[in-house]
């Protein structure tokens, strides 16, 4: 291969890209009235979320179209990465000419929010971090308030006799939020809270558990995902460390069906956790569309579904690209969606109101916290 | 157009990274897998100086380069004790250490929360807030660094580096202090990577540790190998191909359910085929 051939390859690659860009201008979705760009985590560490999320989006599009709505969705993989998500956002805004964006997780939201703000289009992001709502007047936040849930868990444990709480958390964006909330709990109740943070790949918790035993920890708030939870609860049982547990993340993350089925019931007895109740109508519709859908995909599907429904709800009432009108309509929309919530409200933060459960005798039993 | 400008900026940033790593891996033959760490140090130094002190971007770049130089000198000194596979493994370890520092030194780096709201560069009252101007700035940096690398590799200094790559023992016999040359090029490569980091932080306006992992170092190595070892032109071409390829694949009509995964598989297959038929890279001098 000589230099000529090399340059020919590079030139051909550039020409092919330009040709695709030009032909894309004629693709059918541009003819529709409302186009929503979705930056989905289909690869990278957040890929566990993307598949279910896309299913919910597909269901929302079907339902809107069945009611005569005029919506199209363009999905791009954001790779659960800030830079890749920024590239996807640029493509969606400038090539696909979307009128609104959705993005998942904090890192991608951080890089996409300024791009959406500059383009002047509404953004729904799904992350723990609240600050994009303050920085971007067109941004709407989804996801549980982890700080609030950790605060509730900490207060409950302290009020029920705990003096030394351990926060066992994967070292991701929600760890500092949870820790700050628990520090406040420690001051309020005069108790001790110690963080035990670990990396994403950790599955051996024996040393951590032994350290907690030595430190006299008398209750645990776990903030991690399914695979960590399976290992943690198994090893906690093996080491006979029987202290109360109140999860800082909910059933879809930390106390899934896989965790409940693969860990001995005795090791899970008494765990308090929570979940966002899903509407039975949504559950039945998503199961009808995807009969093989598993429990772990229900929540991401509900997020995807609600994000599209709320966005389209605002878009359908306003002129195309009238962002202030769309934002205003979305604030007003208080209908209960798949997540049984009351919409965003004026603060543009999705109002989650979880139901609490206690694991007892191999079953999740609804648990009135107060 | 904005999309193409965005891709252009990424090509410039990764072109600089390719050039910086090519000096170490391609020209000198030191198989370093820690370049993402220096990229990250430059990004974090700039981000912290811009967001906390409000320093001018260009001063922050210089300070970032100085910090990277000091750190890379230490790392390079330790790595100089190793050879070949052990060198690669040692550099691998340093990338993990630096990543862990980004993740865990929360009072400085904000850990997994990352640093948002990083400002764009400004010079004599002109702010590079429009992407087109940022592309111009990135291109200026790329061209300047490209010519610097060309000058370096074609100088007598560069010839010694190539000599180290071909036969270090022979150079020692002729009285060359090869440790000095290896350390010098390692530090220069690291400083150039920190410039790319500064541009990245300022352009994306957000950084977190996940950008500067081992995977990123391997991606940078792929840029150098695909473009062609010991070729500055190859490093830039490698960056352009590896940035453009996944973008082109976005427009291929894969079924939407598996499009992202298919793109990754196709991307991998294309790279394997390229390496099978062109092991010395697109415009490289030699193969590993």
Residue B10 burial (CB count, 10 A): 25
Q: Return the CATH number at A226.
A: 3.40.50.2300
Shared domain check, A266 and A153: yes
**B116 and chain A in contact, CB less than 8 A:** yes
- pTM of the entire predicted model: 0.80
In this predicted structure, what is the pLDDT of residue B286? 66
Shared domain check, A298 and A187: no
Shared domain check, A159 and A121: no
The 3-state DSSP class for residue A37 equals: strand
Shared domain check, A122 and A45: yes
In this predicted structure, what is the pLDDT of residue A268? 93
Rounded average pLDDT over A28-34: 56
Residue B146 lies in a domain: yes
- Model confidence at A276: pLDDT above 90: no
Interface test with B, best of A53, A58, A111 (most B CBs within 10 A): A111
In this predicted structure, what is the pLDDT of residue A213? 94
In this predicted structure, what is the pLDDT of residue A26? 44
Shared domain check, A236 and A157: yes
What single DSSP character describes residue A349?
Answer: B
Residue A2 lies in a domain: no
Output the DSSP codes for A270-321. T-EEEEPPPPHHHHHHHHHH-TT--HHHHHHHHHHHHHHHHHHHHHTTS-TT
Q: What is the pLDDT of residues A49-84, one digit of tens each?
A: 888 999 999 999 999 999 998 899 999 999 888 889
Per-residue tens of pLDDT for chain B, all 288 residues? 888 999 999 999 999 999 999 999 999 999 999 999 999 999 999 999 999 988 999 999 999 999 999 999 999 999 988 888 888 889 989 999 999 999 888 888 888 778 888 889 998 889 898 889 999 999 999 999 999 999 999 999 999 999 999 898 898 998 999 999 999 999 999 999 999 999 999 998 889 888 898 888 988 998 998 888 888 999 999 999 888 888 888 887 777 677 778 778 887 888 788 778 877 788 876 666
CA A11, CA B261: separation in Å to the nearest integer?
A: 26
Shared domain check, A314 and A166: no
CA angle (A19 as vertex; A18, A21 as ends), nearest 5: 60
**A365 and chain B in contact, CB less than 8 A:** no
**Which pair of tokens denotes residue B65?**
């380069």
CA B4, CA A94: separation in Å to the nearest integer?
A: 9
Point out the domain boundary residue: A259, A275, A291: A275
**A43 and chain B in contact, CB less than 8 A:** yes
- Angle at which helix A106-119 crosses helix A82-94, to 10 degrees, equals 30
The closest of B35, B64, B1, B8 to B203, measured between CA atoms, is: B8
Confidence tier at A25 by pLDDT (50, 70, 90) = very low
- Cα separations (Å) of B277 from B229, B270, B274? 15, 11, 5
- A123-126 and A100-104: which strand pairing? parallel
**A27 and chain B in contact, CB less than 8 A:** no
Residue A368 lies in a domain: no
| ipTM of the complex, rounded to two decimals | 0.82
- Cα separations (Å) of A47 from A80, A295, B200? 7, 16, 25
CA B258, CA A155: separation in Å to the nearest integer?
A: 44
**A96 and chain B in contact, CB less than 8 A:** no
CA B190, CA B186: separation in Å to the nearest integer?
A: 6
In this predicted structure, what is the pLDDT of residue A30? 46
- Cα separations (Å) of B181 from A250, B164, B184? 56, 9, 5
What residue numbers bound the domain in which B39 lies? 2-213
Q: What is the pLDDT of residues A34-50, one digit of tens each?
A: 899 999 998 887 888 88
Shared domain check, A317 and A170: no
Shared domain check, A267 and A153: yes
| B11/A17: higher pLDDT | B11
Shared domain check, A102 and A155: no
Cβ-Cβ contacts under 8 Å, B205 against chain A: 110-111, 114
Q: What is the pLDDT of residues A99-150, one digit of tens each?
A: 999 999 888 888 899 899 989 999 999 887 777 888 899 999 988 788 888 9
Cβ-Cβ contacts under 8 Å, B244 against chain A: 13-14, 17
Q: Do A107 and B113 lie within an 8 Å CB cutoff? A: no
CA dihedral A153, A154, A155, A157 (to 10 degrees): 80
Confidence tier at A4 by pLDDT (50, 70, 90) = low
Which residue of A16, A24, A82 is in closest CB contact with B211?
A: A82
Output the DSSP codes for chain B. -HHHHHHHHHHHHHHHHHHHHIIIIIIT------HHHHHHHHHHHHHHIIIII---HHHHHHHHHHHHHHHHHHHHHHHTT--HHHHHHHHHHHHHHHHHHHHH-HHHH-GGG-B--PPPPEETTEE--SHHHHHHHHHHHHHHHHHHHHHHHHSHHHHHHHHHHHHHHHHHHTT--HHHHHHHHHHHHHHHHHHHHHHHHHHHS-B-GGGGSHHHHHHHHHHHHHH-BT-HHHHHHHHHHHHHHHHHHHTS---TTTHHHHHHHHHHHHHHHHHHH-TT-SS-SB--
Rounded average pLDDT over A315-334: 88
Rounded average pLDDT over A211-231: 92
CA B120, CA A82: separation in Å to the nearest integer?
A: 17
Distinct helix (H) and strand (E) counts, chain A:
15, 11
Residue A349 lies in a domain: no
Radius of gyration over alpha carbons of chain A, in Å? 23
Q: What is the distance in angstroms between the Cα of A298 and the nearest Cα belonging to chain B?
A: 17
Which residue of A17, A111, A172 is in closest CB contact with B247?
A: A17
Per the structure, how many domains does chain B have? 1
Tell me the longest C-alpha to C-alpha distance in chain B. Answer: 62
Confidence tier at A18 by pLDDT (50, 70, 90) = low
Q: What is the pLDDT of residues A337-362, one digit of tens each?
A: 898 888 888 889 887 788 899 999 88
What residue numbers bound the domain in which A236 lies? 146-275
Residue A10 lies in a domain: no
Residue B17 lies in a domain: yes
Cβ-Cβ contacts under 8 Å, B7 against chain A: 87, 90
In this predicted structure, what is the pLDDT of residue A13? 59
Q: What is the distance in angstroms between the Cα of A83 and the nearest Cα belonging to chain B?
A: 7
Residue B159 lies in a domain: yes
CA A12, CA A2: separation in Å to the nearest integer?
A: 15
In this predicted structure, what is the pLDDT of residue A135? 85
Contact A34, A315 (CB under 8 A): yes
Residue of B nearest to A73 (CA): B256
Residue A204 lies in a domain: yes
Per the structure, how many domains does chain A have? 2
**A218 and chain B in contact, CB less than 8 A:** no
Shared domain check, A300 and A221: no
Shared domain check, A136 and A285: yes
User: CA torsion sign, A267 to A272 to A276 to A280?
Assistant: positive
- Model confidence at A154: pLDDT above 70: yes
In this predicted structure, what is the pLDDT of residue A10? 58
- Model confidence at A1: pLDDT above 60: no
Which residue of A1, A90, A171 is in closest CB contact with B6?
A: A90
Shared domain check, A293 and A258: no
What is chain A's mean pLDDT, rounded?
Answer: 87
Give Cβ neighbours of residue A52 (< 8 Å, ≥ 6 apart). Answer: A293, A296, A297, A298, A299, A300, A301, A304
Residue B236 lies in a domain: no
Residue B284 lies in a domain: no
**A21 and chain B in contact, CB less than 8 A:** yes
């Amino acid at each position: 291969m000589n230099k000529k051939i090399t340059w020919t390859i590079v030139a051909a690659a550039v020409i092919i890209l330009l040709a695709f860009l030009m032909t894309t201008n004629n693709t059918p979705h541009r003819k529709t009235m409302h186009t929503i760009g979705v930056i989905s985590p289909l690869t990278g560490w957040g890929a566990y979320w993307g598949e279910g999320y896309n299913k919910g989006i597909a269901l929302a599009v079907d339902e809107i179209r069945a009611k005569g709505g005029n919506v199209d969705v363009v999905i791009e993989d954001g790779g659960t990465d800030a830079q890749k998500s920024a590239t996807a956002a640029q493509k969606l805004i400038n090539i696909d000419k979307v009128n609104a964006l959705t993005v998942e997780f904090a890192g991608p939201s951080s890089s996409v929010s300024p791009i959406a703000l500059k383009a002047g289009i509404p953004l729904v992001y799904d992350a723990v971090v609240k600050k994009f709502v303050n920085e971007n007047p067109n941004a709407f936040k989804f996801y549980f308030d982890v700080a609030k849930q950790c605060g509730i868990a900490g207060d409950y444990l302290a009020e029920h006799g705990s003096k030394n709480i351990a926060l066992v958390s994967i070292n991701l964006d929600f760890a500092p939020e949870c820790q700050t909330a628990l520090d406040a709990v420690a001051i309020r109740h005069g108790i001790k809270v110690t963080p035990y943070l670990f990396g994403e790949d950790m599955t051996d918790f024996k040393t951590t558990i032994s350290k907690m035993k030595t430190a006299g920890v008398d209750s645990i708030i776990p903030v991690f995902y399914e695979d960590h939870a399976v290992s943690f609860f198994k090893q906690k049982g093996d080491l006979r460390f029987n202290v109360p547990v109140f999860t800082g993340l909910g059933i879809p993350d930390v106390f899934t069906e896989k965790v409940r089925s693969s860990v001995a019931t005795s090791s899970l007895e008494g765990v308090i956790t929570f979940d966002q109740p899903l509407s039975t109508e949504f559950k039945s519709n998503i199961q009808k569309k995807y009969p093989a859908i598993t429990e772990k995909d229900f929540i991401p599907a509900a997020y995807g579904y609600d994000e599209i429904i709320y966005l389209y709800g605002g878009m359908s009432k306003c002129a195309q690209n009238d962002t202030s009108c769309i934002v205003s309509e979305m604030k007003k929309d208080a209908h209960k969606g798949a997540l049984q919530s009351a919409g965003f409200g004026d603060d543009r933060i999705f109002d989650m109101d979880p139901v609490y459960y206690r694991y007892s005798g191999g079953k999740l039993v609804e648990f009135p916290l107060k | 157009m904005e999309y193409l400008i965005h891709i252009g900026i990424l090509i410039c940033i990764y072109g600089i990274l390719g050039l910086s790593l090519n000096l170490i891996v391609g020209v000198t033959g030191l198989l370093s897998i820690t370049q993402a760490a220096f990229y990250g140090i430059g990004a974090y130094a700039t981000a912290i100086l811009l967001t906390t002190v409000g320093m001018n971007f260009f001063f922050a770049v210089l300070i970032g380069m100085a910090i990277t130089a000091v750190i890379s000198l230490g790392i390079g000194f330790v790595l100089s004790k190793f050879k070949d596979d052990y060198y690669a493994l040692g550099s691998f370890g340093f990338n993990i250490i630096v990543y862990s520092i980004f993740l865990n030194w929360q009072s400085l780096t904000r850990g997994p929360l990352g640093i948002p709201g990083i400002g764009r560069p400004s010079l004599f009252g002109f702010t590079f807030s429009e992407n087109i101007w940022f592309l111009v700035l990135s291109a200026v940096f790329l061209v300047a660094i490209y010519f610097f690398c060309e000058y370096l590799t074609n100088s007598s200094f560069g010839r010694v580096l190539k000599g180290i790559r071909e036969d270090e023992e022979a150079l020692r016999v002729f009285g060359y202090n090869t440790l000095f040359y290896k350390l010098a090029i390692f530090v220069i490569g690291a400083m150039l990577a920190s410039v790319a980091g500064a541009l990245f932080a300022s352009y994306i306006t957000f950084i977190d540790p996940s950008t500067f992992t081992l995977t990123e170092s391997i991606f940078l190595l792929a840029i150098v190998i695909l473009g062609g070892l010991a070729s500055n032109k190859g490093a830039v071409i490698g960056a352009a191909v590896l940035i453009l390829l996944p973008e082109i694949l976005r427009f291929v009509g894969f079924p939407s359910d598996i499009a992202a995964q298919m793109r990754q598989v196709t991307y991998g297959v294309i790279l394997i085929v390229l390496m099978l038929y062109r092991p010395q890279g697109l415009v490289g001098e030699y193969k590993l």
